[in-house]
Amino acid sequence: DTEILGLLEFRCNQGEHDFICKGLTYGVLAGYEWLNYLFSVSKDQFHSACSTLLRLAPRMKNPQMGLGLLEQLWRTNCAGFPDLLLSMIRIIDLSHFLSSQIDWVACHPVAGFVFYRLLREDMLVKSEVVWVVTGIWRRNLEGCLAVGRDLLRVL
């Protein structure tokens, strides 16, 4: 571990943050136990991990690895996460993932955005998505209404 962390620190000091994040993200998605190394890199670089995950999502053979990384990025509140989540909702079916984590999802700061994105994407045809939207609404009514008010102000 110390040798790997030393190498990561050396590469980061040379300005190769983006390259390192992409490589570590590929490794995590391939099943290597590199998550702790990925999260030892600066949070400012997580946008690279988000974009790599988004690029690989449609081709992943094991979507569980991608969902695990998605959840970890969500928990870190990294800057690139909201865009990643909204794009991932379009690419893969996240209804089971969201419904299995509904209490945590509903209390998260981007829950209102998830709620409105699910509505906007016309995903209510699936009964699982209806359950997710209803769960978010019941658990975070004020957050959903706040996003709705902001959207109306913009329009």
Digit-coded pLDDT (tens) for 65-124: 888 888 888 888 776 777 777 778 777 777 777 778 878 877 877 777 777 777 766 655
pTM of the model: 0.67
Helix-strand-coil split of the chain, %, nearest 5: 80, 0, 20
Digit-coded pLDDT (tens) for 21-53: 888 888 888 888 888 888 877 666 777 888 888
Give the up-direction half-sphere exposure of residue 94: CA atoms within 13 A in the CB hemisphere.
25
C-alpha R_g of the chain: 17
